[in-house]
Amino acid sequence: MEVTQKTKAIILKREAFNESNSRVFVYTQDFGKLDLVARGTQKISSKLAGHIEPLNLCEIMIIKGKQYDYLGSAVSENVFINIKNDYEKCIISGEVAQAVDQVIKGREKDEQIFLMLHRFLEVLNNCGDNILECRLQTIQSAFILKLISMLGYQPDLDNFKACLPASQELQRGEPVGKVGNILASKNVINIMKFALENRFEDIVQADFITELVKEFEQVVKQYKQYIFD
């Protein structure tokens, strides 16, 4: 008798597997990240294929197998259509899903990560169509920073070590600190604190100058690489 389990899942990635199957990477509410085989979903006639597109929120059934676990069924609860109809939102959300897939290796359950990813997608889906690109980049960097922190690697932003300013910072006349081994200006340290302390609804409404948003993005990317690579 096959062992089956049901849970909610957000589709992170889908790729071809053998001639007619797909390999689907999901983050679930009850079991953490899973790598599942979806039979027959490369066929045009597949009824399951439309439900396992990246970024969909689904109710899924997992079938335990000897070599692989299989996706027995999937029913979409939210396809976040406003994200998928907006190129910039789609890119931002795809990079967030990729970050979750990259940094989470095991199957350990963490419902808070599932809920955070779900809320991120809801906020992005519900915000206006003409949202500024720098706001999108801010909420993306904030998600990755929150994810890193949730996994146990939150940077100590109150006690960063002073160091010699880089030439760019000398030109700005700003103090510089270290996050891990990453240089970050005082203003970016403050943005990082804001991102960790506030909800996505508030973060996406915040206005920061484009130069600082780009630096925030770079610091978070470098810190992610420092921790996980």
Residue 9 near residue 26, CB atoms below 8 Å:
yes
3-state secondary structure (DSSP) of residue 73: strand
Q: How far apart are CA 25 and CA 32, in angstroms?
A: 11
pLDDT tens sequence across 65-100: 888 899 999 999 999 999 999 999 999 999 999 999
Displacement of CA 51 from its chain's centroid (Å): 20
List domains and CATH numbers for the chain. 4-78 (2.40.50.140), 87-228 (1.20.1440)
Express as a percent the part of the chain with pLDDT over 90.
72
- Mean pLDDT of the residues in the chain: 89
pLDDT band at 103 (very low <50, low <70, confident <90, very high): very high
pLDDT value for 136: 96
pLDDT tens sequence across 31-54: 999 999 999 999 988 989 999 999
CA angle 120, 121, 125 (to 5 degrees): 120
pLDDT value for 165: 43
pLDDT value for 125: 96
Question: Environment class of residue 170 by beta-carbon count within 10 Å: exposed (0-12), middle (13-18) or buried (19+)?
Answer: exposed
Q: Which two tokens stand for residue 37?
A: 């085989």
Least confident of 101-105, 173-177, 210-214: 173-177
3-state secondary structure (DSSP) of residue 36: strand
pLDDT tens sequence across 111-157: 999 999 999 999 999 998 888 899 999 999 999 999 999 999 998 88
pLDDT value for 178: 65
CA angle 129, 212, 183 (to 5 degrees): 135
pLDDT value for 162: 44
pLDDT over 90 at 167, yes or no: no
Sign of CA dihedral 22, 27, 28, 33: positive
Q: How far apart are CA 88 and CA 92, in angstroms?
A: 6
Give the global pTM.
0.90
